[in-house]
Amino acid sequence: MQKTVVKLKGWSVVKLGLLALAVVMAAGACDKMGAGKQDKPANNQAANTSGPIKVGHFASMTGPEATFGQSTDNGIRMALEEINAAGGVKGRQVELTTLDTASKASEGGTAVTRLITETKVVAILGEVASSISLAGAPVAQQYGVPMITPSSTNPKVTEVGNMIFRMCFMDDFQGDVQARFVKNDLKYAKAAVLYDQAQAYSKGLAEYFEKSFVAAGGTVVTKQAYDKGNTDVSAQLQTIKGSGAEVIVMPGYYTDVGTIANQARKLGITAPFFGGDGWESPKLVEIGGEALNGSYYSNHYAVDEGRPEVAAFVAKYQAKYGQVPDSLAALGYDAMKLLAAAMERAASLDGKVLRDAIAATKDFPGVTGVLTFDEGRNAKKAVAILQVKDGKTVFVKSIAPDGAAAAPATTTATPAPTPTAAPAAPAGN
């Protein structure tokens, strides 16, 4: 299998920028993107009828969320090796090209444009971050090329149009699960919310949590915002410290989460944190350390939840990459396998025909759960609750929407232990 990872800096930035802008402007002129019109059919299938079937992946391979893209790419490539070893799709090998968005939303449209117009892909996988998917999805929609995001949870992503699919649960359900777990399982009634106002994912998940938590009888005692990468949030944390919050809900990404948690402990804040799937990274505990011990987060799966398909995936991934697969790797693996199955079923790889085959997916047996797309092209799947314990993450329970299966709980949820507050930084630091 040829491994192709390309940085966008190597292309003509001016050309890409103008092209992406033109495509997005054209998309905006459509009668609402969800109507499913494609004004610029890619004709990639005509150029893709022999030789390897080309699939694109746009991902944060570098930048502050680099583990998101790297893990997803690892999962996709592992699935691809298995698919090609078994004969490929329609008797042809499948070839993957990955473009690096460097964790920047501004690169999403550029990457998708390049995959479609240069590489001539028949389908696209990506992105993880909702903001980057929202930048790339209008381009895929406009060109009529199916796009499957493995793990963007913001509801607006698939609302872009009928060519856009999602492998994971959405934030309205994730936020509701978080609220019910905090209120009913952990018995906390007062929560502070600290979110990244620059990220559609973080802002949206905070809003969904607040709505469900209040409806369940809880109180959001303060709501504070920060900007991605700006880790000096001492003013916001001082407000939270005086608010009486029993838990701090922080739906950000792992890099900021770990740094902010350490800062909170230095200020003497002992309340546990609760986060979303943006926490999922091998770097989380490395950055957050003792400051996150006892905290919880919601996720797409857990390596120790006990299902045989999970155990088999974890063993194969560890043998190949020498590390435990996070949920982004599992979702990337599932996305590639689902796409390959749809390509095999489809009468052709024409954009609309392939789209219809993807949409017809029912009861797909993924590592992250059994998947059937709803009418909005979103997966209805369970949310796993994990706890950070002594430098590791431990599966607590699974909460499913109506009609979806949940894994059995392996531990009983209890209020998080009070973490040891880190000593205050010496004066002058």
Q: Are 380 and 395 in contact (CB under 8 A)?
A: no
Residue 177 reports pLDDT greater than 90: yes
Residue 199 confidence (pLDDT): 87
Residue 13 confidence (pLDDT): 34
Residue 194 reports pLDDT greater than 50: yes
- Give the other-Cβ count within 10 Å of 422's Cβ: 17
Of 230, 257, 8, 274, give the one whose Cα is nearest residue 132. Answer: 8
Burial of 196 (0-12, 13-18, 19+ CB in 10 A): buried
Q: Are 370 and 177 in contact (CB under 8 A)?
A: no
* pLDDT tens per residue, range 217-246: 999 999 999 998 776 899 999 999 999 999
Residue 7 confidence (pLDDT): 47
Please state the rounded mean pLDDT for residues 111-124.
97
Residue 27 reports pLDDT greater than 70: no
Which pairing describes strands 190-196 and 123-126: parallel, antiparallel, or unpaired? unpaired
Residue 51 in 3-state DSSP? coil
Q: Give the count of alpha carbons within 13 A of 205, CB side only.
A: 36
* pLDDT tens per residue, range 299-317: 999 999 888 999 999 999 9
Residue 101 in 3-state DSSP? coil
Residue 405 reports pLDDT greater than 50: yes
Q: What is the distance between the alpha carbons of residues 305 and 294, in angstroms, rounded to a whole number?
A: 18
Contacts of 142 (CB under 8 A, 6+ apart): 23, 26, 27, 30, 38, 39, 40
Please state the rounded mean pLDDT for residues 118-147.
97
380 pLDDT band (50/70/90 cuts)?
confident
Residue 96 confidence (pLDDT): 98
Q: What is the distance between the alpha carbons of residues 179 and 191, in angstroms, rounded to a whole number?
A: 10
198 pLDDT band (50/70/90 cuts)?
confident
* pLDDT tens per residue, range 238-271: 999 999 999 999 999 998 999 999 999 999 999 9
Residue 418 confidence (pLDDT): 45
The side-by-side arrangement of strands in the sheet containing 392-399 is 219-226, 190-196, 247-249, 273-275, 296-299, 383-389, 392-399
Residue 32 confidence (pLDDT): 31
Please state the rounded mean pLDDT for residues 83-112.
97
More confident residue, 205 or 198: 205
Residue 30 reports pLDDT greater than 50: no
Residue 284 reports pLDDT greater than 90: yes
What is the amino acid identity at position 144?
G
List the beta strands (DSSP E) in 324-408: 364-366, 369-371, 383-389, 392-399
351 pLDDT band (50/70/90 cuts)?
very high
* pLDDT tens per residue, range 382-393: 899 999 999 999
Lowest mean pLDDT among 191-200, 287-296, 369-378, 419-428: 419-428
Residue 40 confidence (pLDDT): 58
Residue 415 reports pLDDT greater than 50: no
Residue 406 confidence (pLDDT): 59
Please state the rounded mean pLDDT for residues 32-54.
59
Residue with tokens 């797409």: 300
Q: Are 391 and 285 in contact (CB under 8 A)?
A: yes
